[in-house]
Structure 1
Amino acid sequence: MPTIDEMSESLKLLSDKTRLTIIALLREREMCVCDIVDLLNTTQPNVSQHLKKLRTGGLINETRRSQWIYYSLNVDDKPYLKPVIDELPSMRDQINALKSQGCN
């Protein structure tokens, strides 16, 4: 059972629009930084800072594959976040539009 402090920290991480959008993207599929940068139309350092906060907060995992690092959701042990994540709008259309432009 998580503590109030742990729950508070997780919810604070989701209170940022960019981090919440990243969570919505990762709900659809795992992604590398370059995909997220393209989808958010922002800089790589900006996305990396948000990913670092999410990773430190235990909300995402990272997996290295050769030179790329892929990020995925890690919220199975945080059932109190499930209702929030389930209500996020689908990002499928944005991801599919990126794919149709020749990106991952």
Structure 2
Amino acid sequence: MSWQGSFAAEIRAFKSIAEFGVFASQPGTQVACHFDVQYRQNADPYSGVKKDKITLITFLRIDVAGMAQGCVFVLNGQSYSLNVIDDEDEISVSYVVL
């Protein structure tokens, strides 16, 4: 199987389980995303280990090409500001949101 076919299969799989929202700057365009809340341990020498709650939204790379950090994404009536990139690969980009 070619790389092109592999990417197409991954994109179809992403979209098949995605939620759809819009960027505030492009209200008519539906964008597929995965919304996730994670808890990460943060070790502090004075207060010990604590868990930080981090909200992530992952998009297909092609859907966020040219989007700047700080853009507002609206999902299920809630607005989220895309803060910083948490992770990215050939297919997707994950943002930490506020």
Verify same fold: TM over 0.5: no
TM-score, normalised to structure 2's length? 0.32
Which structure shows the bigger proportion of residues in helix conformation?
1
Q: Which has the larger radius of gyration?
A: 2
